[in-house]
Structure 1
Amino acid sequence: MIKKLFLSCALCIYTITTFGQTVEYKIVTSIESVVPGGIGRSRIIENGTEVDYTQFTTVRTADGKDKTTSDRSDVKIDNLKESTLLNFYSLVGINFQNIASNDAMITSLLNKYSVEGWELFNVASAAESDGGKDDRTGIFITRYIFKKTKK
């Protein structure tokens, strides 16, 4: 009897605390240049504008009459934050001090969002490079996906 009462109370408390909560997401992207000689651009990019993706969605219909609600140029946002990072390479090759410096910058960002109540939910990264003969370009991109529960 007491176990059933305890479980019922726990279920009620859980239902009350989770009912009506929503989750908010935020994505921050770091782009680190893999261009020799330090001539690339490396940045942390943070979106500063709320958008409604449905305003930029094309609806395809069976009769071939697509309904487009916007132009591609409308998608671009003007409000963003750019934090400078260092490039992976210097004139003499890979620069480990630059990598450690970038790690310190990204750690600072992660700590800031943690203090603000954001949870690091997922991290996705990739490298892009031509890879052909005399390849001298490339980027290493990482997306940090945060979530926060709102009541």
Structure 2
Amino acid sequence: MQRTSFSQFKCPAARALDSVGDWWSILILRDAFQGLSRFDEFQKSLGIAPNILTRRLKHLTDEGLFERRLYQQRPARYEYLLTEKGRDFFPVLMTLFSWGSRHIPESDLAFLLGDAASGRERQTMLVDARTGEEVTPENTSLLAGPAADDEVRERIARMRAWYLGIDA
């Protein structure tokens, strides 16, 4: 089944989803942040079929989240190292992890987020880097970006009117 491409969408969230791919890709990235870098390591950790893993690693490499580097000549073996773009996915993964932790039974939590140095559990939240203010649905809206056309500007105006309680 052919997946719909979001590569031409104007929405950054849609484009990001296209770049990451699917749930397997997110789990591969999760494992990469825990130090895994080789095909056999990912396969063992995830229990993923080799053909699916091959496609996902190729996609993540093509999208610039991984760099593929030869680590053994005969037979040729490669490792997959996070790029800057791949490392920039970390906050997304931590937000997803935190959301999941809040919405599954505590008795099912096998992992918690912790401070690497102290071992204390971390409690995450999304904050504005400039102000330190927590980012919430109540205090956040979309703004028109440089590529916004009239349709996007109208959509943003409707959302803003809804937010302010104005009939549009």
**TM-score normalised per structure 1:** 0.22
Instruction: Kindly indicate which of the two structures has a greater share of residues assigned to strand.
Output: 1
Greater RCO structure (CA 8 Å; 6+ sep): 1
Instruction: Using structure 2 for the length normalisation, give the TM-score.
Output: 0.21
